[in-house]
Amino acid sequence: MNTARSLLGKNVNLHLKDGSVIINVLLSKIDRDEYRKGTFLECVSHGERYILRVPLKSIAWVDRLNLSLILSD
């Protein structure tokens, strides 16, 4: 939870426990579900601006992106 808070507002790659990767998303918010007692990360995709809700339990690790390398002239 503390690591997720430190990455809010940053662009990251999310590596999920099932082996899939969600690439280049902006972590926008941490949301708790009162009924199911779960914690979710709200992510905004870079190009499409869709909001994704990913359960925190399903994330294996997070790769922080350096956008200065990607968006260089």
> Which tens digits make up the pLDDT trace of 19-59?
999 988 999 999 888 787 889 999 998 776 788 899 999 99
Residue written as tokens 């790769």? 63
Contact 62, 1 (CB under 8 A): no
Q: Which DSSP category does 35 fall into?
A: T
β-strand partners of 72: none
Residue 10: partners with Cβ closer than 8 Å, 6 or more residues away = 26, 27, 64, 65
Question: Domain-by-domain residue ranges, the chain?
Answer: 2-70
Contact 50, 57 (CB under 8 A): no
Q: What is the Cα–Cα distance from 28 to 30, expressed in whole angstroms?
A: 7
Q: What is the pTM of this model?
A: 0.80
Q: Which CATH class is domain 2-70?
A: mainly beta
